[in-house]
Structure 1
Amino acid sequence: MAGLSIWHVVIFAIVVILLFGTSKLKNLGKDVGGAVKDFKKSIKEDDAESAQLKDPRTIEADVKSTESSVKS
């Protein structure tokens, strides 16, 4: 058979644990989780920026922003 059986996966997991140890695997998991979290955060920030860029700029909006900055 070309596929992996459950025993292949179990033996592979045992070898990986013996080679690296549980503490290194735990740190690796934290690092990967942090990288995924940062990636998701940057995607959300990019979406927010692109939404702002898609808003059409009008003369009225420019006048209002200028008036509010002058009053401050």
Structure 2
Amino acid sequence: MGFGGISIWQLVIVLGIVVLLFGTKKLRNLGGDLGSAVKGFKKAMTDDEQKEASEAQENKKLTADDAAFTKQDESADAAKEKAKVDSEK
């Protein structure tokens, strides 16, 4: 017994008929096209993952820069308040 009740001999016969109908050259081209499609799909998936990782890293950097800028603003505001309080005395 093979796959789902199909024996090895039945698979060999089907393969032989496919080769006779399409020829080895056309099957080779079909296999190459299928391989190229899979390779392109994998490359696209890898590129997307790399793009997402670089965007996440960029966002993390921007968030850190924003935090530093906000801290500088708060320091400047505190200095202005202190100067204002000192001038009122």
Percentage of matched positions with identical amino acids:
47
Q: Classify the secondary structure of the residue corresponding to 2:23.
A: helix
Provide the C-alpha distance between the structure 1 equivalents of 2:17 and 2:11, rounded to a whole number of angstroms.
10
- Write the mapping of 1:1-72 to structure 2, written as runs, cut at 5 A: 3-55=5-57, 56=60, 57=62, 58-59=64-65
Provide the C-alpha distance between the structure 1 equivalents of 2:10 and 2:49, rounded to a whole number of angstroms.
42
TM superposition score normalised by structure 2? 0.62
Question: Offset of 1:54 from its aligned partner?
Answer: 1.8
Where does structure 2 lack aligned partners over 5 or more consecutive residues? 67-89
Task: State the match for 1:64 in structure 2.
Answer: none
Higher RCO (C-alpha 8 Å, min separation 6):
1
What amino acid is aligned across from residue 5 of structure 1 in structure 2? S
Asked which structure has the greater CA Rg, the reply is 2
Which runs of at least 4 in structure 1 moved beyond 3 Å after TM superposition? none
What amino acid is aligned across from residue 38 of structure 2 in structure 1? V
TM superposition score normalised by structure 1? 0.75
Provide the C-alpha distance between the structure 1 equivalents of 2:5 and 2:47, rounded to a whole number of angstroms.
41
What CA RMSD, in Å, does the superposition of the two structures yield over aligned residues? 2.0
What amino acid is aligned across from residue 23 of structure 1 in structure 2? K
What amino acid is aligned across from residue 20 of structure 2 in structure 1? L
